[in-house]
Structure 1
Amino acid sequence: MSDFADLARRSLRDNGYSIKAAARAMNYDPAYLSRVLNGKQAPSERLAQSLDSLLGTGGALAGIVLSADDRSRVSRSIAHPSRLDAGTVDALAGVLAAYRRLDDTAKPESVIPATMAQMKEVTQLLKNARGPHRDRLAEVASEFVQFAGWMLAQAREDTQAVRLLNEALELADEIGNGTLAAQALNFKGYVARQQARPQAIARWFAAAARTPGAHPAQRLGDILQAAAGMAQLGQKDQALRMVEEAEQLTDEAAALPPPRTAYWLTPVFNRLNLGLCTLALGRYGDSVDHLSSGLAQLPDDLRSAPWTWEHREALRKAKEVA
């Protein structure tokens, strides 16, 4: 309840709404809305849906609100972790999916506090969990820790982000989930790119691409991003060979649906990766084409996502010198 209140309150603030203005726009009693947004009263599903409509958060806030049965189930599992059941893991996975959707609509700084609180609850439950559903919970925990690291990386809290990404990697390795392990390494590459460290860029993206169990779409994107790091190091021949390697994965990657834990890895998204790579290679016209096309082909609900700023900035730089 407090996490929902924090997220909704911050989202309203980011969109310029006071409590009174939001209540008026949604036709709600301001006193009721104030109690919910201050964590004093549980939100109804209808209110959460109304807030999603007002803020354009794509159902994410409603997805955070657990049903009474799910709240009871999660509470029982927290009190008796040795009796962890499938319903609890499903409920927590649903909450995580809702947080993922917020990444496409809300500022990272507004999502981080509630994300960290949820992450701590899930990882604490995992420490004492037993039984046949523990590995599934470990998968959810790894993804939650990884997501928290990603959000911190976007906010440039690099040290804490890398610490969490390392923890997520260990959890993924514990259960042998190559997809999650590769994604954690990918995010470490993202941190290195924000720090303008080409050797680390090449290292972490190459490690992600070579991770056993990585999805072909992950491998394709990671090879392209590793190639960009190599190009920045002046090793353009090696970078071009890596681009050719990535191109050989194009059909295989497109033939499979993206992994559930990396739903954004579509051919369009990897065209953005190709745009970053060709920019690093000095092929500015190609970079403009790839980045422009990739951004234009993103689904409507992703075009203004905070993570797209990097690609828009790269497009601006490519246009300057094309």
Structure 2
Amino acid sequence: MQEHPQEFGFGQELRRRRLEAQFSLERLGKRVHYSKAQLSKVERGLKRPSPELARLCDAELNAGGSLARLLPPPVSRKPLPTPEGDDEVWLMYLDKDGTSSFQPVKRRSVMTAGAASIFSLHIGDELLAVETGAATLVEASRVLFDQFRRIGQAAGPGSVLPSLIAQAHSLERLAGRVGTHTRRELLVLASRYAEYTGWMAQEAGDDSAALWWTDRAVHLAQGGDDTTLASYALVRRSLICLYGGDTAQAVELSGAALRSGAPPRVRGLAAQHLAQCRAVEGDYDATLRSLDRARELLALAARHSEAPVLGASHVPDVVEMFTGWCLHDLGRPQRAAELLDRETARIPAHALRTRSRYGVRRALAHAAAGEIDHACAITTEVLATVGAVGSATIVADLRRLAKVLGRHPGNAQVRATMPRLSTALTQPVP
């Protein structure tokens, strides 16, 4: 069997550290919940170690990240696309079967089809009366945005994307018919619609569309004299890179956002994502430093009103939740499970998307900690909502969960859970 030089180097170092710690293969296997045979193959360079195994062994042997860093970095996906020019029109198709599609295309002709905004106002050239129409537009659109985010917590991306796209377009058009102050407010609000549209596109599994809408959000915000979105876009791109396996690029982007002059909330979210990147790299100390920085910045941001809020809005203590997930990535699943259990219980009942996301991560942490039956019970519970909300990012964690549970084919609960889990992995995002 052909050996992999870099992975074989990992195996040699794993064996050296295991013997130094006076761990037998059997003892280490029980601590990291891998079989003695699997560990033996890894040490001899006959089996490629997974990042999860590397992090678990790193934590158990107090390697300080040096073991985890011996693995070669994952192969990055294609580079993130660059923003296109603004010389385009939008085409959106709504089919009778409930499906929809959106496509920006280069402007080749003037589109003159009539349209109406959600307020049943014809989009024309006349100015709105400042005291009557303008204030209503801002107030009602803001309330509507909160409702769209609430709907997005309980339904699939396809249920909200058409409305979000239409509203972002309407607000941009209406901004040209009001006074300067209201124009800024409408453009900034349109940028928040566009940013949330990008997140829903990512949830639908379309990273290119997610980035297009994120760039569109930056353009709209700049039109309203708001530079916040430019820094937040770095955070969003960092997250997409992290999910795509490009940790180095994710670190660079989140670090740039953290060093920017953005408001505390944006920099706090950047520090949070940087912590996640450091955890994936296996750097425990750097992870905790970034989490502490995130906690400081987000506490500072909480003293000021930022509406609508950027980032997660249904997690009571987002830093504690991220700490739990970072601990999992750092190979400390038992501590991770305790934190995730506690924080997930605090998520509002109506936030099904958020509860599903962290429910899957709870199951992963418990499974990695060797609590297989409990992990299966959590999985069974969360699968009831995963299909309803539809999420490509949650499915990515489900795949990781399936691999961990798949190492225990003799467990009765695993055999009962895997058919439903396999079905969830093959269903299209609604």
Using the size of structure 1 for normalisation, the TM-score is 0.66
Q: Which has the higher contact order (CA 8 A, sep 6+)?
A: 2
* Partner of residue 301, structure 1: 350
Secondary structure, counterpart of 1:298 in structure 2: coil
Sequence identity (%) = 23
Q: Does 1:232 align with 2:272?
A: no
Match of 1:196 among 223, 233, 245: 245
Match of 2:323 among 271, 274, 292: 274
Q: Does 1:80 align with 2:125?
A: yes
Secondary structure, counterpart of 1:301 in structure 2: coil
* Partner of residue 316, structure 1: 363
* Partner of residue 336, structure 2: 287
* Partner of residue 73, structure 2: none
Match of 2:198 among 149, 162, 185: 149
Q: Does 1:140 align with 2:180?
A: no
* Partner of residue 268, structure 2: 220
Q: Does 1:185 align with 2:234?
A: yes
Match of 1:110 among 146, 154, 159: 159
Counterpart CA distance in 2 for 1:152 and 1:163 is: 10
Q: How many residues are matched?
A: 253
Deviation at 1:266, TM superposition (A): 5.4
Using the size of structure 2 for normalisation, the TM-score is 0.51
Counterpart CA distance in 2 for 1:265 and 1:203 is: 27
Is the CA contact (8 Å cut-off) linking 2:347 and 2:355 kept in structure 1?
no
Match of 2:142 among 93, 99, 111: 93
Q: Does 1:241 align with 2:286?
A: no
Deviation at 1:194, TM superposition (A): 2.8
Counterpart CA distance in 1 for 2:338 and 2:188 is: 38
Deviation at 1:282, TM superposition (A): 2.0
Is the CA contact (8 Å cut-off) linking 1:276 and 1:287 kept in structure 2?
yes
More divergent stretch after superposition (108-117 vs 124-133) = 124-133
Counterpart CA distance in 1 for 2:136 and 2:146 is: 15
Match of 1:261 among 290, 309, 315: 309
Is the CA contact (8 Å cut-off) linking 1:258 and 1:265 kept in structure 2?
no
CA deviations over 1:116-173 (Å, ceiling 9, x no partner): 2222222333467653311001111101111110110111111011111012123334
* Partner of residue 213, structure 2: 164
Gap regions ≥5 residues in structure 2: 1-93, 99-116, 370-430
* Partner of residue 34, structure 2: none
The verdict on how the C-alpha distance between 1:122 and 1:176 changes in structure 2, with shifts beyond 3 A counting, is closer
More divergent stretch after superposition (146-155 vs 169-178) = 169-178
Gap regions ≥5 residues in structure 1: 1-5, 11-64
Deviation at 1:227, TM superposition (A): 1.4
Deviation at 1:264, TM superposition (A): 0.9
Larger-Rg structure: 2
More divergent stretch after superposition (286-295 vs 197-206) = 197-206
One-letter amino acid of the counterpart of residue 224, structure 2: I
Deviation at 1:269, TM superposition (A): 2.8
Root mean square deviation of aligned Cα: 3.3
Match of 2:168 among 119, 135, 144: 119
Counterpart CA distance in 2 for 1:184 and 1:139 is: 14
CA deviations over 1:212-265 (Å, ceiling 9, x no partner): 34234x433431221121232344443333233334446545655665323717
